[in-house]
Amino acid sequence: MSDRSFSDQLREAVGANLPGVQNKGDPDQNDLAEERALGIRQKRAAIEGLREDNRNKQANRALRWKYATWVFVYLICYSLFAAAMLLLHGFQLFGFVLPDVALGALIGSTAVSAIGLVASVVTGLFKSDTGTR
């Protein structure tokens, strides 16, 4: 066995003492240009990811606005309907009379259900994403 390591023997066999082979471990101009190009591609990909994220947020805001508008319209219509039923029954306009149980169900429990449904939908639409900021 020889005192020289296998890598030393290999270098000697392929002529690793030549300057071109010794410098191969150091990055040359092509290597540096490739690294710069890779860095530029990575930065462009990151920027495109941010742009896509912004587009998604804008679309999300538009959908939220649309649904919030419809939820508001629903609550207004329901409130107007319930108020009309209450006024018609209270003043007995046009001979309109509801049994007390039906009036209680219409004004009481149905209102609670409608408001609860709207609250759950709105909470789902407008939950905060504090972890993604």
Per-residue pLDDT tens for 88-128? 999 999 999 989 898 888 888 778 888 888 888 778 877 76
* Single pTM value for the model: 0.58
Question: Is residue 14, in this structure, part of any structural domain at all?
Answer: no
Residue 34 lies in a domain: yes
Task: Report the number of distinct structural domains present in the chain.
Answer: 1
Q: Would you say 75 and 118 are in contact if contact means Cβ atoms under 8 Å apart?
A: yes
User: pLDDT, tens digit, for every residue of 41-88?
Assistant: 999 999 999 999 999 999 988 988 898 888 888 888 888 898 899 999
Supply the mean pLDDT for the chain: 82
The predicted pLDDT at position 16 comes to 53
pLDDT level of residue 133 (50, 70, 90 thresholds): very low
Q: Is 13 a domain residue?
A: no
Q: Which two tokens stand for residue 38?
A: 């890779």
| 2 within domain boundaries | no
**Nearest CA-CA partner of 68 in 125, 111, 116, 117:** 125
Residue 54 half-sphere exposure toward CB, CA atoms < 13 A: 6
Residue 121 inside a domain? The answer is yes
Range of the domain at 52: 27-127
Q: Is residue 133 part of a domain?
A: no
Q: Quick check: is 61 in a domain?
A: yes
Q: pLDDT band at residue 2, thresholds of 50, 70 and 90? A: low
User: Is residue 95 situated within a structural domain?
Assistant: yes
More confident residue, 112 or 16: 112
